[in-house]
Amino acid sequence: MTERMKVFTIAHVPPSLERAWLQHLRDFDLANPGCHFEVIADAPNATMSEIVDVLRINPGLPVVEVIERFRR
């Protein structure tokens, strides 16, 4: 058995649930040490500002922590 498993998910989420879905991922991430998510969003009609707004989660994830995860 592998030490880690990568699970790839494509979620088709209506705009009214975008933030809730991302918050769900963040909550799971916090509740389960050792797990983390790398998320990319595709919203061809959205502006950069709108996408950044959707990606706001609670608690926020410091940029330094994101960079450190990519170094591992």
The residues near 56 (Cβ < 8 Å, ≥ 6 apart) are 19
Position 17 scores a pLDDT of: 93
Per-residue pLDDT for 1 more than 60?
no
Confidence (pTM): 0.67
Cis peptide bond upstream of 59, omega within 30: yes
The CA distance from 4 to 24, in Å, is 21
| Segment 9-57, tens digit of pLDDT | 888 999 899 889 988 988 998 899 888 788 877 888 888 888 778 778 7
Give the whole-angstrom CA distance, residue 71 versus residue 63.
13
